[in-house]
Amino acid sequence: MHYEIVIVGGGAGGLELASRLGRAFGRRIGPERVLLVDRSHFHIWKPTLHEVAAGTLNPQQEGLSYSILSRNNHFSFMLGELVAFDPEGKKLTLAALKDEHGEEIIPERTISFGNCVLAMGSGSNFFGTPGAAEHAFVLENARDAQHFQQRLLALFAKAAYSQGKQLDVVIVGAGATGVELSAELMEAYHEIQGATGSKQHFHMHITLVEGAPRVLAGLPEKVSLQAMYALRAKHVTVLTDTKVQAIHANRVETSRGDLPADVIVWAAGIKAAERNQRFGLPVNRLNQFEVNDRLQTAAEGVYAMGDCSACPWHDGKFVPARAQAAHQQARYLARRFMALYAGKPFDESYEYRDSGSLVSLGDNQGVGNLMGSLAGKNFFIEGLIAKYMYMSLHLMHHKVILGWRKTALLALARIFQTRVSGRLKLH
Ligand SMILES: Cc1cc2nc3c(=O)[nH]c(=O)nc-3n(C[C@H](O)[C@H](O)[C@H](O)COP(=O)(O)OP(=O)(O)OC[C@H]3O[C@@H](n4cnc5c(N)ncnc54)[C@H](O)[C@@H]3O)c2cc1C
Phi and psi dihedrals of 89, rounded to 5?
-80, -5
CA distances from 225 to 214, 220, 305, 378, 384 (A): 8, 9, 32, 17, 17
Q: How far apart are CA 376 and CA 378, in angstroms?
A: 7
Tell me what percent of the chain is helix, strand and coil, each rounded to the nearest 5. Answer: 40, 25, 35
Residue ranges, the chain, pLDDT below 70: 372-377, 421-427
397 CA to centre of ligand 1 in angstroms? 13
197 CA to centre of ligand 1 in angstroms? 39
Residue 149 is predicted with a pLDDT of: 94
Q: How far apart are CA 210 and CA 118, in angstroms?
A: 32
208 CA to centre of ligand 1 in angstroms? 23
Residue 100 is predicted with a pLDDT of: 86
Give the mutation target among 19, 45, 70, 120 for probing the ligand 1 site: most ligand atoms within 8 A of CB.
120
Q: How far apart are CA 176 and CA 107, in angstroms?
A: 40
In 181-297 the beta strands, taken as DSSP E runs, fall at 203-209, 237-239, 244-247, 251-254, 257-260, 263-266, 270-271, 289-290
From the CB of 121, is ligand 1 less than 6 Å away?
A: yes
14 CA to centre of ligand 1 in angstroms? 10
Q: How far apart are CA 404 and CA 11, in angstroms?
A: 19
From the CB of 49, is ligand 1 less than 6 Å away?
A: yes
176 CA to centre of ligand 1 in angstroms? 14
Phi and psi dihedrals of 304, rounded to 5?
-140, 145
State the Cα torsion 40-41-43-44 to the nearest 10°. Answer: -70
From the CB of 366, is ligand 1 less than 6 Å away?
A: no
Q: How far apart are CA 284 and CA 274, in angstroms?
A: 11
- Closest C-alpha residue for ligand 1 atom 52: 47
Give the mutation target among 39, 46, 172, 358 for probing the ligand 1 site: most ligand atoms within 8 A of CB.
46
Residue 301 is predicted with a pLDDT of: 97
322 CA to centre of ligand 1 in angstroms? 8
What's the CATH architecture for 126-268+355-427? 3-Layer(bba) Sandwich (3.50)
Q: How far apart are CA 354 and CA 373, in angstroms?
A: 9
Helices (H), 211-285: 221-233
From the CB of 367, is ligand 1 less than 6 Å away?
A: no
Q: How far apart are CA 216 and CA 176, in angstroms?
A: 6
Phi and psi dihedrals of 168, rounded to 5?
-105, 125
Q: How far apart are CA 326 and CA 393, in angstroms?
A: 12
From the CB of 37, is ligand 1 less than 6 Å away?
A: yes
- One CATH from 3.40.50.150, 3.50.50.60, 3.40.50.300, 2.40.50.1070 for 2-122+272-341: 3.50.50.60
46 CA to centre of ligand 1 in angstroms? 5
Closest CA relative to residue 214, chosen from 228, 203, 200: 228
Closest CA relative to residue 386, chosen from 221, 223, 184: 223
Q: How far apart are CA 312 and CA 329, in angstroms?
A: 13
What number does the ligand 1 atom closest to the CA of 145 have? 1
Q: Is 289 in contact with 116 (CB distance < 8 Å)?
A: no
11 CA to centre of ligand 1 in angstroms? 6
120 CA to centre of ligand 1 in angstroms? 8
- Parallel, antiparallel or unpaired: strands 366-370 and 104-106: unpaired
From the CB of 9, is ligand 1 less than 6 Å away?
A: yes
CA distances from 199 to 160, 161, 424 (A): 8, 9, 20
From the CB of 81, is ligand 1 less than 6 Å away?
A: yes
- Parallel, antiparallel or unpaired: strands 109-118 and 302-304: parallel
* Same fold for the pair 2-122+272-341 and 126-268+355-427: yes
Extents of the domains making up the chain: 2-122+272-341, 126-268+355-427
